Amino acid sequence: MNVVHLVEEALYERLADGVSYPAYRRLAPPNGTFPCVIYARQSGIPEFTQSELAGWTLVYQVKFVGRGYSNGALAHQADELLWGLLQDNPLSIEGDDWRNVYLRRVSDVEYDELTEEGVYQHLGGLYQIEVVPA
């Protein structure tokens, strides 16, 4: 199985088990539940030694999304929870082929989104995830 897919499965399991909100990959579905956590891969760089794949450096955006302006305190609590779930806490990757050796927040993400349905607050970070062959 593709290592990126394995990392996404491990990340989803960590988020689903660690937060009381639904966790969605890339987008909340139509009629999705809010508040929620959304995660999405922002970049993936394969690392090589000569011609052999030596690992991957992946960056994921992981954020709390709440509807309306009244979720500020809740958003900051959720962001702290996400930090605690992920920062320097390697993921358990299924199988024996890959292991996560580095997981750290490298940047903050914070913005408001105005749609026809109203305002959505986004608060979280970019997390760098490094995996190597086991």
Q: Does the pTM of the predicted model rise above 0.85?
A: yes
Q: What is the mean pLDDT of the chain?
A: 94
Q: What is the DSSP string of 47-65?
A: EEETTEEEEEEEEEEEEEE
Q: pLDDT, tens digit, for every residue of 33-90?
A: 999 999 999 999 999 999 899 999 999 999 999 998 877 888 999 999 999 999 999 9
**What is the CATH code for 3-133?**
3.30.2000.30
Domain boundaries, the chain: 3-133
Please report, as a single letter, which amino acid is at residue 89.
Answer: N
Please tell me the distance from the alpha carbon of residue 58 to that of residue 37, in angstroms, as a whole number. 19
103, two tokens: 């997981």
Q: Report whether 38 contacts 15 (CB < 8 A).
A: no
The Cβ of residue 39 has, within 10 Å, a number of other Cβ atoms equal to 21
Q: Report whether 38 contacts 26 (CB < 8 A).
A: yes
